[in-house]
Amino acid sequence: MWTSSINQANKVALLAWAKETGINLVQINGQRRYGGPPPGWVGDPPPAGTEVFIGKLPQDLYENTLIPLFQSVGKLYEFRLMMTFSGLNRGFAYAKYSNRRSAKEAIAAFNNFKVREGCTIVVCKSTEKCELSVDGLAAFVSQQELEAMLRQVTEGVVSVALYSSPCQEWAQLAVLKYSSHQAAAMAKKTLTEGNVRLSGVEMRVGWLSPNLKQKLQSSKEKPSSSQVQGGKGLGVPKQTPLSPVLYNVLDRLNTLCRRRYLGTPLFLTKCVQANPNGWLLFWCRVVIPGCPRPFSGFTWVRQDGPDGSGHEEAKVTVALQVLRILGCQLV
């Protein structure tokens, strides 16, 4: 609900304009949208390059002023105004046209346009970013499980890929690709501000930067998700030898479960792929009698442990993540 005491006159004018023109504005999750598609639209959505970004908007300015202005240079497919809870705009919007020519004309006509005395706006080509990065996911989060969860809470998921985190040891980084910039922006807001909970430590959600994308793509030593059956690979942990402290993780997990009366953890590990460069892909499951469901997922380990099989390393990696999920801090 709007706070009626803020900018009341302009809100009344907006409602009157919407009623007079028959334009339907839908507000969902911090943005108000017209079109997408507009009434009478036939065919597919416009291609990339048809959306413009509008910035430096006065916060008390609404669609009754903005939509007629931006429609004056071409047919709008969609107009999205970012909103605050008080009913003011957040200072920026997106206008998507039916073709690229209209988008270019909008930039030429309205960049540095004075919408009122002392207020000029910025209009430029929208980057139309469609990819997000989610860093800090636990090793137990598999590609299949993550994708299933994302499809429940966000719309337009195209693909999900998992890598080892470049910033957090023993953590995963997910690259999420969406069908449009709008879908990605809505997903970013949902994952950042909503009540969504993913298994992870210090999880961070943001736009996938070109530098990070290039770094992930150029990491040739790491097995890619396409090499894994079902695309369930979690990426590769850093090549850090397992110290005695980490081998003690199994004892720490047993102690924690005993103190919390959860029962003794049962480990199941199965090597499902071996790469020539020494990496082994393991499917792992930890069943703890006192927990409602088992912890399971895929992880990569090096074939350089005491027995060379990788099973012990997989158990240690899994136990470390379970400890973190259960809230235990290693010292």
pLDDT digits (tens, 9 = 90+) for 185-212: 888 888 887 555 565 445 689 999 888 8
Give the HSE-up count for residue 295: Cα atoms under 13 Å, Cβ half-sphere: 26
Residue with tokens 């009623």: 19
Q: Is 220 a residue whose pLDDT tops 80?
A: no
Please, which residues have CB within 8 angstroms of residue 266's CB and are 6 or more apart in sequence? 286, 287, 288
267-276 pLDDT per residue, tens: 888 888 787 7
Look at 216 and 50; give whichever has higher pLDDT. Answer: 50
Q: In whole angstroms, what is the distance from residue 2 CA to residue 321 CA?
A: 44
Residue 240 pLDDT: 41
Q: Residue 238 pLDDT more than 50?
A: no
Q: Could you give the CA distance from residue 212 to residue 210 in angstroms, rounded to a whole number?
A: 6
Distance, CA of 181 to CA of 177 (rounded, Å):
10
For the ranges 71-75, 139-143, 315-319, the lowest mean pLDDT is seen at: 139-143
pLDDT at 323: 82
Q: Which has the higher per-residue pLDDT, 55 or 294?
A: 55
Helix ranges, 111-209 (H) = 143-153, 181-193
* Confidence tier at 247 by pLDDT (50, 70, 90): low
Least confident of 62-66, 136-140, 293-297, 313-317: 136-140
Answer yes or no: is pLDDT of 242 > 80: no
- Which CATH number is 8-125 given? 3.30.70.330
Q: Which of 47-61, 235-249, 289-303 has the highest mean pLDDT?
A: 47-61
Each domain of the chain, given as residue ranges in start order, spans 8-125, 131-231, 244-325
**Which CATH code is given to the segment(s) 244-325?**
3.30.160.20
Q: Report yes or no: 150 and 160 within 8 Å, Cβ to Cβ.
A: yes
Q: What's the confidence (pLDDT) of residue 225? A: 37
Q: CATH topology for 131-231?
A: Alpha-Beta Plaits (3.30.70)
Please tell me which residue, 316 or 112, carries the higher pLDDT value.
112
Q: Which residue has the tokens 């839908």?
A: 26
In this prediction, residue 170 has a pLDDT band, given cuts at 50, 70 and 90, of low
Neighbours of 31 (CB within 10 A): 19
- The pTM (predicted TM-score) of the whole model is 0.56
Q: Rounded to the nearest 10 degrees, how much is the dihedral formed by the CA atoms of 72, 75, 78, 79?
A: 0
pLDDT value, residue 248: 79
